Amino acid sequence: MSEELLTTEHKPDFGENYPLIEQLRTGTPLSSMPEADMPALCDEIRRFLVEKVSAAGGHLASNLGIVETTVALHRVFDLPHDRLIFDVGHQSYVHKILSGRIDGFDDLRKPGGLSGFETMRESPYDAFGTGHASTSISAALGYAEADRIAGRETYTIAILGDGAFTGGMIHEALNNCKKDLNLLIILNENEMSISKNTGRFAGHISKMRTSKRYFRFKHAFVRFFDSIPLVGPRINSGARAVKRYVKNAFYGGVYFEDIGIKYFGPADGNNYAVVRYLLEETKHKGGSSILHLRTVKGKGYPPAEADPAAYHQIGADYSGNFSSHFGEKLCDMAAEDDKICAITAAMETGVGLSAFHQRFADRFFDVGIAEAHALTFAAGLAAAGMKPYAAIYSTFLQRGYDSILHDIALQKLPVRILVDRAALSSADGATHHGIFDVSFLSAIPNLYLFAPMSFASLDRILDASRDTALPMAIRYPNARENPEILHAFFENGAPDALIHADFTDKEQNIAVIVTYGKLAAEALTAAKKLTAQGFPCGVILMELLKPYDTSAAEVAARLPGHAAAILFMEEGIRNGGAGMLTFDALRRTHADLMKNKVTDILAIDDNFVIPTQNENIYRTAHIGANDALRALIHLLAKLKNNNS
């Protein structure tokens, strides 16, 4: 496969470059295409993915590795009557190609375009919305149980990577599986091994169990001894016990069969013929089954095969942003303090901890896809006198809410939580929006909440965190420093301040916007537009959100004493957010100041923010500069009426 695909600028001629995909695109059912064409179709799909994902950005290596398996699934099962659920869903691109969404790849991961994950609103072929890991078996189990109750013969297939097994939900779901369900679980092993299959004999056993001759012999063996009166069934039972012992000794498939799930594999998941045969075999046998496949991440594209981590997500740049700066700063701190340790939940690179891992391996912990465990584990470290820093994406921190509340805050343990990706996520969509953390963290006592918007501020907060006596959360977006925000709030501000103001003239300002996070850039634009209309407007940037009485006192000191319109702008959910709590604190503690003010909150209302085609995500959420300008004009009209 040529690297020139990465720089292709013209729209491909499907008839010339992708003749088999063109057949699918123009309505030819996959089921009617010749079996002999399937290897060529797999090759076309790989070339198509490299071209499209390289242009649009997205997950490449994982999709290249799952091509043959996905094609075989679509050939063997009756989709969407049968259901296919991908864990996380970032490896569902091949599934989208095969289910009528080929043309959508030009708008992959764009607002209103083709989602980078499975989503039920996009296609009936997407049986369940995904985006977070380790949910697939639970959802598939729900479908399978519903089918059992209704007497349907429908199959449900969950396909998950080996990394998903680090998440507790997978094991909770497996614990509830029944052997008589039409449920197939495909374990796609592409990086780490769940069980050690080493040695020539283990390799021979694996090859034997996935061959047609093995299954033919097994069926004949069972039929022969079942036909012998009295002793036959006992012989078969003894043979199964021996088989289970051998399997346990050499590749551990007994883990699944102990909980009533038939185990097949491991097998080559990049061999279409092998995968198709095994799928047909599991479907024929019925009941709950595990099919263990081994695939090569980045298969068919040499750069991705050589470095699958680099090609896991095309277009992801982690350099120079708040995450990488945090990682660099933590390394400096750890070099001076041997009690500092770092925790991530399977996001080492994304949260900026790769260098920390290399330099301080004995104090670095990647706990896998287990956010709740990560936080309670951090609580244990803190209780033992260590200084833990747990870096977790905002959208995944939701999974650890109980651990923060019960195990950290209630016990006043000084865990430092770094809330990464704290903002709207334009490319990844609603499953990855970091818009709920302020609301749910604000409800937790004994917790400090910061929102630094300069590297210098982040450094000051991290320096102070070394000796904190209470837990704290430090939230920041997946972004670099914004020059406009730096110029407005940090060039002449107090170096140790956590509340900043950008006012032309405080005494002249008739309007003020209070905000936090990267939405401050939109606030500055709105303020300039209002000022240009003859209504001087200032902006206050909060980098300390909680305790709210403390932050409100700092905000009050920067508000004009005369009658004015105050708008709180928030890139977060309105309910229980910083706007509600800041205004509440101002009214309780600065009643005289607030009695001549009119106020409003511009925040994300009760929705998940799903944009339409090519729409700016701030416009979708109704929190952009123009939305703020309209809200301020409405407040000024209200202020005028109050004073007349």
**Pair 601, 466: CB distance under 8 Å:** no
**Pair 109, 428: CB distance under 8 Å:** yes
DSSP 3-state helix, strand, coil percentages of the chain (rounded to 5)? 50, 15, 35
Spell out the residues 6+ positions from residue 67 whose beta carbon is closer than 8 angstroms to its own: 42, 45, 46, 94, 270, 299, 300
Buried b (16+ CB within 10 A) or exposed e, 275-310: bbbbbebbbeeeebbbbbbbbbbbbbbebbbeebee
Q: How far apart are the first and last CA of the chain?
A: 74
Angle between helices 38-56 and 272-285 (to 10 degrees): 100
Q: What are the residues facing 58 on neighbouring strands? A: 314
Residue given tokens 């690179």 in the structure block: 349
Q: What are the residues facing 85 on neighbouring strands? A: 158
Spell out the residues 6+ positions from residue 35 whose beta carbon is closer than 8 angstroms to its own: none
Residues in the chain: 644
**Pair 271, 245: CB distance under 8 Å:** no
Q: How many CA atoms lie within 13 A of 106 on its CB side?
A: 7
Whether omega before 547 lies within 30 degrees of 0, making that bond cis, reads: yes
Is 4 one of the annotated active-site residues of the chain? no
Burial class (CB in 10 A: 0-12, 13-18, 19+), 642: exposed
Question: And the tokens for 81?
Answer: 């009557």
Which residue is catalytic, options 110, 299, 399, 546? 399
Angle between helices 232-250 and 200-209 (to 10 degrees): 130
Q: How many CA atoms lie within 13 A of 423 on its CB side?
A: 20
**Pair 522, 541: CB distance under 8 Å:** no
Round to whole Å and give the CA distance between 373 and 399.
10
Which residue is catalytic, options 297, 518, 574, 597? 297
Residue type, 515: T
Round to whole Å and give the CA distance between 230 and 249.
30
- Concatenated DSSP letters of 170-193: HHHHHHT--TTS-EEEEEEESSS-
Is 630 one of the annotated active-site residues of the chain? no
Nearest to 562 by CA among 533, 530, 588, 536: 536
Which residue is catalytic, options 371, 481, 543, 570? 371
Is 399 one of the annotated active-site residues of the chain? yes
| Catalytic center residues | 297, 371, 399
